[in-house]
Amino acid sequence: MHYTIRQGHWPSDLVAPVQAIDGVSLPDTAAVIGADFPGLRPVFAVEQGDEVAAGQVLFTDRKHKEITHVAPCAGTVAQIVYGPRRTLSACVIKRAAQATPRQSMPLDDSTDAAVRDVLQSRGMWPAFRTRPFGRTPSPDARPAAIFVNAVRGAAAPDPHVVLQARTELFAKGAAVLTMLTDGLVYVCQAKGHPLCPITNRVRVATFGGTMASALPGTHIDRLYPVQSGRQVWTIGYQDVVAIGYLFATGQYAADRVVAISGPLSESPKLVQTILGARIADIAADSMAEGANPVFHSGTPLSGREAVFLGRFDVQITATARPAPPRKASWLSATQGALIPTAALDRALAPRVLPVPLMRALSVGDSETARRLGCLALIEEDVAILSQLCTSGADYGLLLRQVLDELMEDAA
C-alpha cells in the first residue's frame, strides 16, 4: 500500500547529499546524551577513567534496572556529567585507537523472554520509543505494533543505499521484532523494492511526498492510529540492522550512517560513524576552509544544536553562526499572536486539528490537547508549526510539557 503525504513542506530547497557511503569516519570521542532520554536517572556501572569495551554497560536506568545503556566504542570514560535532579547530562567516552576483536556467537531469539533479556542487557532497548509519549518503553510492555522507519527524510541518507550490504541483517532484525509484539511489524519505506521479505508478521508500507512522510507519527496515523489506550513502538532502520547483528553475532553494533549537509558543508555526503559521535570530529573534512559552523543533529525542521550525534538522528546540518538578534522593528510586537493561516492547516500529516491544538498547547490545556489527539504526536511532528506560526512559540516544548502532564496522570 502506498501513501502520498501532501501536508507540510516539500523537500526542495535542500542540497541532497551524494547517496553513496563516503567511508568510515570515527570520532575521537563519543557520548551518550541525556537529552535523548529526558528524565532518565542513571545508576553508573563504571567510573570516570575506567577502560570500557564496545558494548560494555555504562549505566542502567534507576527506575528499570533491566534497561542498560552501553558504550558505543572501546575506550576510556572521559567524563560523567549529571543534569538537574541526578538525571544524565552526558557520559563521554574517549575512543581507543584499536578495539580488541571479540568472538562471534549467535544469540537465542526463539522466545519473547529471551529476546527481551538480550535487548535490555545488551543496550539495544533504548532504540525503541513508545507512542504515545515518545519515551523508552518499560521492560515488560508489549506493543500493539512496531513501526520501523525507513523512509528517507530530506537531506538524510537513503535507506536503500545504507541497507544495500546489510539486507540479511535487516531482515533478521525485523524477524526478531515480531517476537516482541502480538501485532504486526510495519516496515515503512519509500517506493522501490521491499527492504525486507514480507511475511505474515512483517508488512511493508510505502510513503512518499512531503518531509512529513519521513516521520513515524505520520506512518502510525495512516496505518495503525494510537487509539483506545494501545501503545505502539517506533524504531529506526539502522537500529533494526544493529538488532539483527546482535542476534547473529552476539556483538553490539554502534555503526551509524549519517548524512552531513547544510549551507556550510562543501560536499554533502554520507559517512559511516558510530552512535553519539562528536560531530566536529566526523564533519571536519567536509567543511569549507576556515568555516566556523554550528552543527544541528536531526532533521532540518526539528534538529537541535548539538556537539554529539543524537541517539535517534541520522543527519547533521552545518549552518553559519546566527547573527545576534536584531532590534525589534516598529511593526513587531514583543510577543506575537497565533493568526490562523492556511499554511497551518496544511502543516500536519496526522489527522488532528492544527489551530485548536496549538491554542490548547499554548495555554497548557492538557485535557483539550488530549481530546485533540496530541497523544499521537511527539516534538518532531509539531516542529513545523513552530516554523509557520506567527506567535514564534516552540510547540515542541509546549507539547512535551502537556505530554509530561498526561504521562503523570496515566501513571
Partner 1 sequence: MTVARPLWTSVAGVTLAQSAALVAPAVVTGLANPTGYAVVLATALLTVWFWEGLFAALRRHTPSGHGITTALIIVVLVPVDTALWQVAIALSLGVVLAELVFGGRGFGFLSPAVVAASLLVFSFPEVTLAPGTTNVALATAPGAILLLFLGLISWRVILSAVVGTGLLLMLSVDGLNAPQVAAAMTFCVVFLVCDPTAASATNTGRWIYGLLAGGLIVLFSGGPIPTTEGIVFAALLASIFAPLIDHLIVLAHAKRWKTADA
Which residues here bind partner 1, judged by CB under 8 A? 9, 132, 226-229, 262, 296, 300-303, 317, 319, 328-334, 336-346, 351, 353, 355-356, 359, 368, 370-373, 375-376, 383, 386-392, 406, 409-410
Largest CA distance in the chain: 69
Burial letters 195-233, b for 16+ CB under 10 A, else e: bbeeeebbbbbbbebbbbbbbbbbbbbbbbebeeeebbb
Nearer Cβ to partner 1 (15/24): 15
Rounded to the nearest whole angstrom, what is the least distance from the CB of residue 21 to partner 1 in the complex?
23
Rounded to the nearest whole angstrom, what is the least distance from the CB of residue 46 to partner 1 in the complex?
35
Neighbours of 96 (CB within 10 A): 15
306 vs 93, 230, 276, CA distance in Å?
Answer: 16, 33, 10
Rounded to the nearest whole angstrom, what is the least distance from the CB of residue 150 to partner 1 in the complex?
23
**Closest Cα partner for 298 from 33, 67, 83?**
33
Rounded to the nearest whole angstrom, what is the least distance from the CB of residue 255 to partner 1 in the complex?
25
**Closest Cα partner for 69 from 60, 78, 77, 81?**
60
Nearer Cβ to partner 1 (226/314): 226
Nearer Cβ to partner 1 (121/368): 368
Nearer Cβ to partner 1 (115/301): 301
Could you give the CA distance from residue 393 to residue 110 in angstroms, rounded to a whole number? 48
- For strands 2-5 and 202-209, give the pairing: parallel
Could you give the CA distance from residue 186 to residue 223 in angstroms, rounded to a whole number? 8
348 vs 209, 330, 361, 382, CA distance in Å?
Answer: 13, 32, 15, 7
Nearer Cβ to partner 1 (43/339): 339
H or E element at residue 400:
helix 395-410
Rounded to the nearest whole angstrom, what is the least distance from the CB of residue 42 to partner 1 in the complex?
29
Rounded to the nearest whole angstrom, what is the least distance from the CB of residue 55 to partner 1 in the complex?
33
Nearer Cβ to partner 1 (202/232): 232
Cell digits for 75? 575506550
Cell numbers 553475532 correspond to what residue? 249
DSSP 3-state of 222: helix
Nearer Cβ to partner 1 (108/305): 305
Cell digits for 69? 545503556
Nearer Cβ to partner 1 (51/367): 367
Please list the residues that pair with 76 across neighbouring strands. 51, 94
Rounded to the nearest whole angstrom, what is the least distance from the CB of residue 370 to partner 1 in the complex?
6
Q: Taking CA 276 as the corner, what is the angle to CA 383 and CA 28, rounded to the nearest 5 degrees?
A: 135
Rounded to the nearest whole angstrom, what is the least distance from the CB of residue 25 to partner 1 in the complex?
21
